[in-house]
Amino acid sequence: MSFTVTARHNARDVSFQRGSMLAALEQALTLASAGMESVLVRDVSGRSHTPAELTCALLASGPGRDKAAPRPHAA
């Protein structure tokens, strides 16, 4: 599955491709901690998620639980 991580810094958009939700979340958190704005992760279906939404989805899909899909974020 492919994920696109986008963010804005100094009126410039940046974008990164990642192959897993965990890798995309790591990139999104790195960008957010660097002070970038509007950090979003877009999945292959085009839905956008904040880093917080992805974190919740990963924690909810722990062992013995149904895999939770993150809720879409209105872009």
Q: Does 68 reside within a domain?
A: no
Angle at 54 between CA 26 and CA 19, to 5 degrees: 55
Return the structure tokens found at 74: 């209105």
Q: Does 21 reside within a domain?
A: yes
Domain count for the chain, please give it.
1
Which domain covers residue 17, as residue numbers? 3-60
- How confident is the model over 21-66, as pLDDT tens digits? 899 999 999 999 999 999 999 999 999 999 999 889 888 876 654 4
Q: Rounded to an integer, what distance in angstroms lies between the CA atom of residue 34 and that of residue 57?
A: 23
Q: Does 8 reside within a domain?
A: yes
Q: Rounded to an integer, what distance in angstroms lies between the CA atom of residue 11 and that of residue 7?
A: 10
Q: Does 12 reside within a domain?
A: yes
- How confident is the model over 8-33, as pLDDT tens digits? 999 899 999 999 989 999 999 999 99
